[in-house]
Structure 1
Amino acid sequence: ADIGDIVRGRDLYRRDKEKREKLEDNLKTIFKNIYEELKKDRRNGKNGEIETRYKDDGGNFFKLREDWWTANRHTVWEAITCDDDDKLANASYFHATCNGGKSSTPNKCRCPKSSGANADQVPTYFDYVPQYLR
């Protein structure tokens, strides 16, 4: 499962039932808290719309999860791929370079504009792999 599938509740870690249940319980708690905060926010006067759109769904909040992932996908990916503490130094999904040269990517988070690459290009091979290819 990729992170988006996990957040949205589409495909959780299948190997260990106890870990899967713990993960799902944590996600339910997180999205319940987000839902409650959205209901409290009356600045936009659309509280009824929030309740209608994100109804409890048995505590799963699948629509809220989907919308949250859509709104935050890029930020989550950026946070995952930024490696200021070198914990991902040997991760196999990072490109060796930004511009095809021989030296390693100097900025783990993003390729510099001077490399000729898009400054927001993450030096990785992918940001999404469809389920059927995993």
Structure 2
Amino acid sequence: GKDLYLGDKGNDKLEKNLKTIFGKIHNSLKDDGAKKHYERDHPDFFQLREDWWYINRKDVWKAIRCSAPTDADYFIKNTCSDGKSSAEQKCRCINYDVPTYFDYVPQYLRW
């Protein structure tokens, strides 16, 4: 993956990059139903972003978690959706759910 945030203190550059990326995704849609569904989503593509995140969140979460150092405190706490289980071997929860707190991490820190 590519760090779209690059340590910048503001969101302007990130937002511009996300609009460009999701604009390319939007323009490459082949299914007529998908094109119609997102036809009013321009120029920010918020619905497309939300749908993309819903479909890809487990893979994004796994990639971030599995590349985190073993001593990353962020992943040590009880993080699974049942509130009791700790993230097993830092990569996923016992029941394979994405930890519920993860969706509350600001988008610029997830991507």
Please indicate the TM-score interval, normalised by the length of the shorter structure: 0.5 to 0.7
Relative contact order (C-alpha < 8 Å, sep 6+): which is higher? 2
What TM-score do the two structures reach when normalised by structure 1? 0.52
| Aligned counterpart, 1:69 | 53
What TM-score do the two structures reach when normalised by structure 2? 0.61
| Aligned counterpart, 1:5 | none
Please give the alpha-carbon distance, in whole angstroms, between the structure 2 residues aligned to 1:82 and 1:22. 27
| Aligned counterpart, 2:96 | 120
| Aligned counterpart, 1:92 | 73
What is the aligned-residue identity percentage?
40
1:1-134 matches, cutoff 5 A: 16=9, 19-38=10-29, 41=30, 46-47=31-32, 49-83=33-67, 87-95=68-76, 107-110=89-92, 118=94, 120=96, 126-129=101-104
CA RMSD of aligned residues (A): 3.3
Structure 1 spans left out of the alignment, 5+ residues: 1-14, 97-104, 112-117
Q: CA deviation at 1:33?
A: 0.8
Q: Post-superposition, which runs of at least 4 consecutive aligned residues in structure 1 deviate over 4 A?
A: none
1:14-67: CA deviation from partner (whole Å, max 9, x where unpaired): x94xx31100000001101111111xx3xxxx41x2222112534111111111
Structure 2 spans left out of the alignment, 5+ residues: 1-7, 78-86, 107-111
Shift in alpha-carbon separation, 1:50–1:106, aligned structure 2, 3 A: closer
- Size of the aligned set, in residue pairs, is 91
